[in-house]
Amino acid sequence: MSKRAYVVGTCDTKGEELRYVRDLLAAAGLETCLVDVGTRSRASDVDVTAAEVAACAPGGAALLDLDDRGAAVTRMAEGLAVYLRSREEIGGIIGLGGSGNTTLVTHAMQALPVGLPKLMVSTVAAGNCAPYVGGSDIAMLYAVTDIAGLNSISRVVLANAAHALYGMMVRHAPSAADPKPALGLTMYGVTTPCVTAIRRKLESAFDCLVFHATAQGRKSLEKLAASNLLDGQLDITTTQLAIFTPGLERTNPGYFEPAIRARVPFVASVGAQDMVNFGPPETIPAHLKQRLFYRHNAHATLMRTNRDENAAIGRWLGEQLNRFESPVRMLLPERGVSAIDAEGQPFFDPEADAALFEGIERSVQETRQRKVSRVPEHINAPAFAQAAVDAWHEVRTSRSRT
């Protein structure tokens, strides 16, 4: 089956522009499929009508009669995701639109596998694209002018977009993928020596995918885990868990959910659990001003987690580890959990770390498959990296026996 370029948008308001892109792709030699997702559209000169997409959504095609545009767009986005996942011939996808259509189309794009070309031409691409990209590999191109008719600017921008998708599809080489088992590793600047050492010890046998342990990096890791593209994880830097503390915003309660569902061998540690991340000093909430802070750079200010917060983090983390059915090892570095949590460094606090460790140990229900081990080393010490590598081989071997 030949791969097709899917061109997606609201044909009642963006039909001229969508057909312009479709025709450019066809002229370049690609098979195309024009998909209408207009909630008020009744266009029939398309390959896939809005009614066909709506039929895949909760409630079916009745969404086209909804008076609530927001609700209709939300349900159409869900229908588009379902529809696209069922199309084996998709070789790439391009969408055009403003904020509403960008939200609709990128929601569906996020449901597609990493590696499949995805390009969104949008009037909102010059702003914060995080909600639209999520953890996926969506390319965002700023439209410059509104997508409201063809003009001297839009013709050039849309032509560039069409030919960019063509290039991604024609030059795409899935055969170049690394045949080695893929491992997901989490790293921060303050755990770089540890994760780098682990990667170097494993990369001859494994495809080591390192993710920056920020919210966005975490989303990318979760996307691959949810797509069953990882054969295991070494979640060394679980710093995002530091938001699960009294008085601080609790986000991402499903932190380990994709890994739990994937049931892959799992090695974890408490890298960078000594810190909560804020932006510049002016972004710090007033009620936290008296806490211990470290200015990491012009855009990042770190707050030291205290004993009570670490105890809470440890309890929560232990409870989540109990949910794993795959082999799990948790390693606790007794001499510090980050580069600045070491003797002589600003966040060195053995009592706070001890509360974290004790919270984990008291919460985890150890079994043959689930174990917690203390390592009498700093997290960035070579011996700790070796302990993590040994733990990985142990859980992988344990998994192969089950």
Report the 3 state secondary structure along the chain: CCCEEEEEECHHHHHHHHHHHHHHHHHCCCEEEEEECCCCCCCCCCCECHHHHHCCCCCHHHHHHCCCHHHHHHHHHHHHHHHHHCCCCEEEEEEEECHHHHHHHHHHHCCCCCCCCEEEEECCCCCCCHHHHCCCCCEEEECCCCCCCCCHHHHHHHHHHHHHHHHHHHHCCHHHCCCCCEEEEEECHHHHHHHHHHHHHHCCCCEEEEEECCHHHHHHHHHHHHCCCCCEEEECCCHHHHHCCCCCCCCCCCCCHHHHHHCCCEEECCCCCCEEEECCHHHCCHHHCCCCEEEEECCEEEEECCHHHHHHHHHHHHHHHCCCCCCEEEEEECCCCECCECCCCCCCCHHHHHHHHHHHHHHCCCCCCEEEEEECCCCCCHHHHHHHHHHHHHHHHHHHHC
pLDDT tens track for 353-375: 999 999 999 999 999 999 999 99
Q: Quick check: 249 pLDDT over 60?
A: no
Higher pLDDT, 328 or 216: 328
pLDDT higher than 60, residue 304 = yes
Q: State the pLDDT confidence band at 257, using cuts at 50, 70 and 90.
A: confident
In the chain, the domains with their CATH numbers are 4-174 (3.40.50.12020), 178-401 (3.40.50.12030)
Give the pLDDT score at 219.
79
317-327 per-position pLDDT tens digit: 999 999 999 99
Residue 216 predicted with pLDDT over 70: yes
User: Is the predicted pLDDT of residue 140 greater than 50, yes or no?
Assistant: yes
250 confidence band (pLDDT: 50, 70, 90)? very low
Q: Check pLDDT > 60 for residue 246.
A: no
Confidence of residue 252 (pLDDT cuts 50, 70, 90): low
Q: Of 39-43, 236-240, 369-373, where does mean pLDDT reach its minimum?
A: 39-43
Given this model, what pLDDT does residue 176 score?
45
